Amino acid sequence: MRIIAGSAGGRRFAVPAGSATRPTSDRAREALFSTLTSLLDLDGAAVLDLYAGSGALGLEALSRGAAEATFVESDPAAARLIARNAADLGLAGARVVTVPVERFVGQEHGPAAYDVVFADPPYALPAGQLAGHLVALRPALGDGAVVVVERSSRDPDWAWPEPLQALRVRRYGAGSLWYGRAS
């Protein structure tokens, strides 16, 4: 495990060792939340952090007033670390689900289960596969839910699958953040 500066309450939190987890940079994470708060009110929001990795995005959302965050991470060690970080940071409302994203999105979630979705998969995940995951999740998104996808800045432009609508894109070094809305 390695320690990085987390912006969740300005406190440090642990991330998995190795190169399999690629936490969103502090600069990009701060910009992401600045943009996100211009699009919706995080207070009381239900957040879904797909491909959670270190859990930095969901932890940040909880620290900024989200009521709950569901972290989906297939790696058991990373999932345990997310749960420990949430407890260590005193962030209530964290739920960690240790399954592959494709299995999670195929489950029944109930209508309007999520107000915000973060999808930061490994850059090697094909865009079509990610789009399929988001389409499968659509019944669980509230109207107006915001979806943020992180992809490599070297990738072709992200094409939102219907019925998700493009809002904007911001590039930060190696990664690009694509913002969309459920309609």
DSSP 163-182: TEEEEEEEEETTEEEEEEEE
The structure tokens 């219907």 sit at 162
Computed over every residue of the chain, the mean pLDDT equals 87
Q: What is the pLDDT, as a whole number, of residue 125?
A: 94
DSSP label at residue 74: S
> For the chain, what percent of residues have pLDDT higher than 70?
86
Question: Is residue 53 within 8 Å of 16, Cβ to Cβ?
Answer: yes
Instruction: Give the angle 157-29-183 at the CA atoms, nearest 5°.
Output: 55
Q: For 2-19+26-182, CATH number? A: 3.40.50.150
The token pair that represents 147 in the structure block: 């979806």
Q: What element of type H or E holds 29?
A: helix 26-39
pLDDT band at 5 (very low <50, low <70, confident <90, very high): very low
Predicted TM-score (pTM) of this structure: 0.88
Look at strands 2-5 and 12-15 and give their pairing. antiparallel
Report the alpha-carbon distance of residue 68 to residue 10 in Å, rounded.
19
The amino acid at 103 = R
Q: What is the pLDDT, as a whole number, of residue 23?
A: 60
How far is C-alpha 1 from the chain's CA centre? 21
User: What is the crossing angle of helices 56-63 and 76-88, to 10°?
Assistant: 20
Q: What is the pLDDT, as a whole number, of residue 4?
A: 42
Residue 178 pLDDT greater than 50, yes or no: yes
Q: Where are the domains of the chain?
A: 2-19+26-182
Residue 48 pLDDT greater than 60, yes or no: yes
Report the alpha-carbon distance of residue 121 to residue 169 in Å, rounded.
17
Q: What is the pLDDT, as a whole number, of residue 117?
A: 98
